[in-house]
C-alpha cells in the first residue's frame, strides 16, 4: 500500500460536543524516521445544519466519506455547507464529491477558481468575506482573517458556541506514528517537540516567513485568540490544541525558529 494512503479508516473523534475530527495520517520519510502528518477536515454541527471545514486530502477522500457516513448514522443535522480554508488540494479536493453526495450543500468562503476544478457546480458556490457568518442553529460559523497563510485567498473559520478556531495551515506540525502519537490532541503527546516540528513545517511550507518580520503576525495571532476567547484550535495539519495557554507558545516558538534565515555569507 502506498505510504500516502491511510491504512485504516479510524472512527471520527468528537473533540467537544458537535465538533468532529475526521481524516487520517499521511506518511513521509524524514531523516531516519517516518513522519506522519494530517490534512484534517472537521465537521461542525449546529442544531439545524452542519458544516464541513476542509474537503479532504485526495488520498483520504474515501476515508472522510466513510467517516461522514458513520456520523450520519448517529443522527444529527444535515450537511449543508463545505468551507475550504484555501484552494490547495489537501484542503479542497473533495469539495465536488461531497457536494454531489449532499444535494443541499453549498461551498462557501473564497470560491474563486473552483469553477475550473468543479465545472457544473457553480450554482452551488457561495462567496463569503471576512466578517460574514452562517447560522447553523444555536451557533454561528464566522469567516475570520487568516493570520498565517500560504495563499493570498486563505480564510479561517470560527465556531461561536464552542469557541473553536479552524486555522488551516496555521498551527501546523508533524508527529511520529511509532510513538503512538496519531489521533491525539497536542496535550495527549507531551513528549512531542511541537516547536521543532512547527519550525520544520514553516521552513518547508511557509517559506515566506523567512523573508519578513514574523513578530507582527504573532501579535495579531495572540490578539485574535484573546478577542475570540478561543478554547480549542482545530488545525488542518497539526494535532488539535485543547490547552491554549500551554501549547500556543510552542507554536509561536516554532514560527520564530522557522523564520530565521541561515547565514549564507561566504566564510572569512
Q: Could you tell me if residue 1 is inside a domain?
A: no
Q: What range defines the domain where residue 205 resides? A: 13-258
Domain CATH number, residue 43: 3.60.15.10
Q: How many domains does the chain have?
A: 1
Q: How confident is the model at residue 3 (pLDDT cuts 50, 70, 90)?
A: very low
Lowest mean pLDDT among 14-23, 94-103, 163-172, 200-209: 200-209
For the stretch 106-159, pLDDT in tens is 999 999 999 999 999 999 999 999 999 999 999 999 999 999 988 899 999 999
Cβ–Cβ under 8 Å, residues 84 and 143: no
The reply to whether 8 falls in a domain is: no
Flag whether 93 is in a domain. Answer: yes
Question: 93-102, 173-182, 252-261: which has the highest mean pLDDT?
Answer: 93-102
Identify whether 267 is part of a domain: no
Flag whether 150 is in a domain: yes
Contact 33, 25 (CB under 8 A): no
Backbone angles phi, psi at 250, to 5 degrees: -70, -40
Does the residue 5 lie in any domain?
no
Whether residue 148 lies inside any domain: the answer is: yes
Task: Return the C-alpha torsion angle 64, 40, 87, 106, nearest 10.
Answer: 50
Element (H or E) spanning 130, and its range?
none
Phi, psi at 53, each rounded to 5°:
-90, 120
Measured between alpha carbons, how far is residue 100 from residues 20, 177, 209 in Å? Answer: 21, 34, 38
Q: At what angle do helices 215-228 and 244-258 cross, to 10 degrees?
A: 160
pLDDT of residue 233: 97
Of the chain, the percentage scoring pLDDT greater than 70 comes to 88
In a domain, 168, yes or no: yes
pLDDT category of residue 24 using cuts at 50, 70 and 90? confident
Amino acid at each position: 500500500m502506498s505510504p500516502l494512503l491511510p491504512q485504516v479508516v479510524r472512527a471520527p473523534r468528537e473533540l467537544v460536543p458537535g465538533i468532529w475530527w475526521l481524516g487520517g495520517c499521511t506518511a513521509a520519510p524524514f531523516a531516519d524516521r517516518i513522519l506522519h502528518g494530517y490534512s484534517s477536515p472537521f465537521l461542525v454541527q449546529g442544531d439545524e445544519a452542519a458544516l464541513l471545514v476542509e474537503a479532504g486530502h485526495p488520498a483520504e477522500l474515501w476515508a472522510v466519506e466513510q467517516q461522514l457516513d458513520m456520523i450520519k448514522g448517529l443522527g444529527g443535522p444535515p450537511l449543508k455547507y463545505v468551507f475550504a480554508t484555501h484552494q490547495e488540494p489537501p484542503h479542497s479536493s473533495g469539495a465536488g464529491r461531497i457536494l454531489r453526495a449532499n444535494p443541499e450543500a453549498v461551498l462557501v468562503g473564497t470560491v474563486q477558481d473552483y469553477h475550473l476544478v468543479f465545472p457544473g457546480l457553480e450554482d452551488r458556490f457561495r462567496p463569503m468575506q471576512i466578517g460574514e457568518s452562517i447560522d447553523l442553529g444555536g451557533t454561528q460559523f464566522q469567516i475570520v482573517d487568516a493570520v498565517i497563510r500560504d495563499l493570498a485567498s486563505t480564510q479561517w473559520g470560527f465556531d461561536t458556541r464552542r469557541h473553536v478556531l479552524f486555522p488551516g495551515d496555521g498551527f501546523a506540525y508533524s508527529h511520529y506514528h511509532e510513538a503512538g502519537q496519531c489521533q491525539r490532541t497536542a496535550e495527549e503527546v507531551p513528549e512531542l517537540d511541537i516547536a521543532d516540528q512547527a519550525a520544520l513545517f514553516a521552513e518547508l511550507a511557509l517559506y515566506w516567513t523567512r523573508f519578513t518580520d514574523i513578530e507582527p503576525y504573532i501579535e495579531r495571532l495572540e490578539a485574535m485568540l484573546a478577542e475570540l476567547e478561543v478554547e480549542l484550535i482545530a488545525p488542518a495539519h497539526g494535532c488539535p490544541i485543547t490547552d491554549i495557554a500551554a501549547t500556543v507558545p510552542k507554536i509561536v516558538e516554532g514560527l520564530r525558529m522557522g523564520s530565521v534565515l541561515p547565514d549564507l555569507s561566504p566564510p572569512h
